[in-house]
Chains A and B, each alone.
Chain A
Amino acid sequence: MAVKTVINAAGRSVPLEINGKPVIPFKGVGKHRPVGGKYSPPIPVCSDFPDNGNKVVRSLEEALKLCGLRNGMTISTHHHLRDGDLINNSIFEIASAMGVKDLVWFPSASFPCNDPVIKYLDNGTINRIEGSMNGPLGRYVSDGKMKGTAVLRSHGGRVQAIQDGEVKIDIAVLAAPSADSFGNARGTGGNSSCGVIGYAKADSMYASKVIVITDNLVDMPCFPMEIEGNYVDYVVVVDKIGIPEKIVSGTTEITKSPDRLLIAELTASFLEKSGILKDGVTMQAGAGGTSLAIAVFVHQILKQKGWKSKFGFGGSTKYMVKMLEEGQMGYILDAQAFDLDAVKSVETNPNHVPYPVFNAYNYHSKGNLTSMMDIMILGATEVDLNFNGNVVTHSDGYLLHGIGGWQNCLHARNVILPLPLFRDRIPVIVDEVTTLCGPGELIDVIITERGIAINPLRKDLIKSIKGSGLPLKTIKELKDEAERICGKPKKAQFEDKIVAAIKWVDGTVIDVVRKIKTK
């Protein structure tokens, strides 16, 4: 049966219903204004819990049963254990053995280590994933094999969906590197330290039932707690929640590719010459090799000029930690720690502060941290002539990445995308993005190895960079150059079937991903 679709404010054809529930088409940036109250979970009674505060039960299976695990429930998890996670798959293994069907998995992100859940999608234990999916999981979805429709949200969009009740979490299973028997938990300590567990905060507050699972049970109180025991129903102790060397990279390294370094250098030079980089600047950059190289070049400039960044927002890495330690950065506010130096810094440096994504990115918060950032360095798989960005699909149409915080970060003052003009013959700048994830009005500058394109809406930037000697081009010129080198690519071919919905930060549907056409 064909689903009814409409054209949303971004010009994309989107359905009015997903997974049997009505959805709102994208209305424009900042236009959606929900009314009413926030969602609230069922009201608990403290006398239902042990007087001695000890909520430890024997196993995850027992905890899930005590939470009343049954068909159709929504199970949430966080991704702070990254590719070293040993908990998430086991939830569905238990559910599958219990014969439970049609679960919705609501992770804050998934990693290659979660590929085994394909088995539980195949056998009907899981109906769908609402969260990011990479690699094989994305391919599975794009091939139309998942029973339900995937829903992709940004980190902030996930909190929005929790707060306005779009997603009601039945059971949150929250892995914690340290926890006490009451359920207070944090991201540091033990053998599986990941620095922070901020992505789990909203889950802990809004889920009907909360299970904390740890391999490092400490005496009460587990301090400083990121998750408060008041929200927790059960505590489970296991031997191991994660594989340490896969939780964080031992070390993150800047790119060695001379071409990427060139882009990084050009980006730092752009930041300096445009006046965006200045004393007191606030900034965020990711953990990719090019972003790290930009951080290093920016650090050099700050040092040379005797400037200091007021604060940086992490994803933190050793390069940011170095800025903090050498005095070029006042604070690191941290949503996740990417390497061991960053984890150590959170544990020891009082100016390196866990700062949950809950406060940073959420549409229903009273203000937005990202809109206060001067410099935001982001990636994309594609950008089009209108500066629209795609981060979830590749040009061949396959869903291969999650949104992460990307959409939320677009609200920064200067959104800069350093990108190679083409990757393995695939142009990055295209006529129209395969999947729209972020509207072009929020994307300011594209920096490639062959030139810099500034969004025509940013007249101020165009003016400030005049006469700088930097290689300015229009986005059309960049696109034409890529096609001259690579040839004009054919567009990916899709069937009608919608396999994934892309939510905007406010919960509206900005675009969808359709099933790849098979001959």
Chain B
Amino acid sequence: MKKFTVTAGNAGPKVRSDCEITLELKERGGIEIDLTSKVKALYGDSITSLCREVLTFFKIRNARVTVTDSGALPFVIAARIEAAVRRLKDTDLEFLPELIKENMYSTTGDRFRFSRLYLPGNTPSMMLNAGLHSADGIILDLEDSVAPEKKDEARILVRNALRQVDFRGAERMVRINQGEAGLKDLQYVVSHNVNLILVPKCELPDHVKIVDSEISAIRKRTGIKYPVFLMPIIESALGIENSTDIARASENIVALAIGLEDFTADLGVPRTAEGKESLYARSRLVIAAKAAGVQPIDSVFSDVSDMEALRQNVMNSKALGFEGMGCIHPRQVAVINQGFAPDESEIEKSVKIVAAYEEARKRGDGVAAVGSKMIDQPVVLRAQKTISLARKLGRMPKDSSS
């Protein structure tokens, strides 16, 4: 027998910026709304009229709705009602809040991905200010941070967040689930101006290819023109062994990430701060990524209180060749951004190298030197890369060569 009463969303003393909707279908009597909210005096009317609008949209005419609100914004309330409705009946309709103009941007394959901040996909309070912390990317996570029975409501919330939350120029990423669930996730996010999809637990090139072709199908169906990039995450021994092929599995791949919690579990060893147990895997992944011309991205650092240890970790990571790292707390962003960007002495040295090289070339001299050190072509190339990075980051004037 079909259920007639369902609940979606979250309520409780610690819940903020969210609401819980209980929806009970009735035979008659119209829409009855029972609202509890600490912002009732200010937004009570706006909340009840939104409830009515969404229910009418889904052609529900008789129902009793109980809203327990803790300051949810309209896109959250709409997502929670839609989730409740979808638990009661199958529908192809989607109640889409406006796609704000601030979010109508695309990204490019070669942009920096030093920091990418994970946000649990079913926790609206963490989404609202996420864009303020200057992460290069924001990940709305549908995978590990969302409980299995909450996946359906998280998809709708993430879709609405992609349309409504201003992430202030961060690359807007979604981490989908594995397998079938992941393909379903795509239906909810691809056509809402998502910039990049993280594909978790990749072990075979096919894992990426399936996602890639599903995205293509959605693109064709919806007619979207902007690029949707892919970042496979490798989290097992088999994945590491296949990383070279995974990195080349689609031309939409722009980065390859490693997930060390699952990887060390797969090896059956504890994850240490020093990271000896994953040294080979990390180096292997860096080489696979670089060989394929994509960015190697390191795993998150889980001690959010120890910024000094994080700084050390970033230094090691950069030394191995990684070009970015995940963040699980906004306070990690600055440390990571700073760590992966070239520092003053690197920039200064690079400027000297390039200047010496230009000088030698003008003289028609094949050999350039800084001080007593000879510099050859690869050194010059790296220096040029550093300078262009520094310019893009605003650490050097754009048009001067020194």
Listed in ascending order, the chain A residues whose CB lies under 8 Å from chain B are: 258-259, 261-262, 395-397, 423-426, 449-450, 485-487, 489-490, 492-493
B39 within 8 A of A: yes
Closest A-B pairs by Cβ, 5 of them: A424-B71, A489-B42, A258-B330, A396-B41, A425-B71
The reply to whether B39 and A424 contact each other, CB–CB distance below 8 Å, is: yes
Binary contact track B227-247/A, C-beta < 8 Å → 1, others 0:
000000000000000000000
B72 within 8 A of A: yes
A490-B41 CB under 8 A given contacts A258-B331, A424-B16? yes
Within 8 Å CB of B40, what residues of A? Answer: 396
Residue of B nearest to A395 (CB): B42
Extra contacts, 5 of them, besides A423-B71, A426-B71 (Cβ < 8 A), are A262-B330, A395-B42, A396-B39, A396-B41, A450-B132
B46 within 8 A of A: yes
Bound CA span A490–B39, Å: 10
Listed in ascending order, the chain B residues whose CB lies under 8 Å from chain A are: 16-17, 38-46, 70-74, 128-129, 132-133, 329-331
Bound CA span A423–B330, Å: 19
Within 8 Å CB of B44, what residues of A? Answer: 490
Bound CA span A396–B43, Å: 10
The reply to whether B73 and A425 contact each other, CB–CB distance below 8 Å, is: yes
Residue of A nearest to B74 (CB): A487
Within 8 Å CB of B45, what residues of A? Answer: 490
Within 8 Å CB of B70, what residues of A? Answer: 424
A262-B133 CB under 8 A given contacts A425-B73, A486-B73, A487-B74? yes
A259-B73 CB under 8 A given contacts A397-B41, A426-B42, A492-B41? no
- Residue among B40, B46, B329 with most chain A CB within 10 A: B46
Within 8 Å CB of A425, what residues of B? Answer: 17, 39, 42-43, 71-73
- Residue among B42, B44, B70 with most chain A CB within 10 A: B42
The reply to whether B42 and A258 contact each other, CB–CB distance below 8 Å, is: no
Bound CA span A396–B74, Å: 19
Bound CA span A89–B45, Å: 41
Residue of B nearest to A424 (CB): B71
Bound CA span A395–B73, Å: 17
Closest Cβ–Cβ distance, residue B134 to chain A (whole Å): 10
Residue of B nearest to A263 (CB): B132
Residue of B nearest to A396 (CB): B41
Within 8 Å CB of B132, what residues of A? Answer: 259, 262, 449-450
Within 8 Å CB of B16, what residues of A? Answer: 424
Within 8 Å CB of A259, what residues of B? Answer: 129, 132, 330
A490-B42 CB under 8 A given contacts A424-B70, A425-B71, A426-B71? yes
Bound CA span A262–B132, Å: 8
A493-B41 CB under 8 A given contacts A259-B129, A424-B71, A425-B17? yes
Within 8 Å CB of A489, what residues of B? Answer: 39, 42-43
- In the complex, 13 of the A-B residue pairs with CB atoms within 8 angstroms, ordered by the A residue number, are A258-B129, A259-B330, A262-B129, A395-B41, A395-B42, A424-B71, A425-B39, A425-B43, A426-B71, A485-B128, A490-B42, A490-B44, A490-B45
Within 8 Å CB of B46, what residues of A? Answer: 487, 490
Residue of B nearest to A421 (CB): B129
Within 8 Å CB of A493, what residues of B? Answer: 41
Residue of A nearest to B50 (CB): A487
B38: contacting residue among A424, A485, A486, CB under 8 A: A424
Within 8 Å CB of A424, what residues of B? Answer: 16-17, 38-39, 70-71
Bound CA span A493–B133, Å: 37
The reply to whether B43 and A258 contact each other, CB–CB distance below 8 Å, is: no
Closest Cβ–Cβ distance, residue B40 to chain A (whole Å): 8
Bound CA span A156–B40, Å: 35
Bound CA span A449–B71, Å: 19
Bound CA span A426–B40, Å: 11
Closest Cβ–Cβ distance, residue A139 to chain B (whole Å): 13
Within 8 Å CB of B330, what residues of A? Answer: 258-259, 262
The reply to whether A258 and B133 contact each other, CB–CB distance below 8 Å, is: yes
Bound CA span A489–B44, Å: 9
Within 8 Å CB of A426, what residues of B? Answer: 39, 42, 71
- Residue among B16, B40, B70, B129 with most chain A CB within 10 A: B129
Bound CA span A119–B209, Å: 71
Bound CA span A338–B324, Å: 42
Within 8 Å CB of B42, what residues of A? Answer: 395-396, 425-426, 489-490, 492
Residue of A nearest to B164 (CB): A485
Within 8 Å CB of A450, what residues of B? Answer: 132
Bound CA span A426–B73, Å: 10
Bound CA span A352–B277, Å: 53
Within 8 Å CB of A487, what residues of B? Answer: 43, 46, 73-74
Closest Cβ–Cβ distance, residue A4 to chain B (whole Å): 29
A449-B129 CB under 8 A given contacts A424-B17, A490-B42? yes
Bound CA span A487–B46, Å: 9
Closest Cβ–Cβ distance, residue A437 to chain B (whole Å): 20
The reply to whether A490 and B329 contact each other, CB–CB distance below 8 Å, is: no
Within 8 Å CB of A262, what residues of B? Answer: 129, 132-133, 330
Bound CA span A486–B132, Å: 17
Within 8 Å CB of B128, what residues of A? Answer: 485
Bound CA span A396–B128, Å: 22
Bound CA span A35–B75, Å: 59
Closest Cβ–Cβ distance, residue A338 to chain B (whole Å): 23
Closest Cβ–Cβ distance, residue A500 to chain B (whole Å): 18
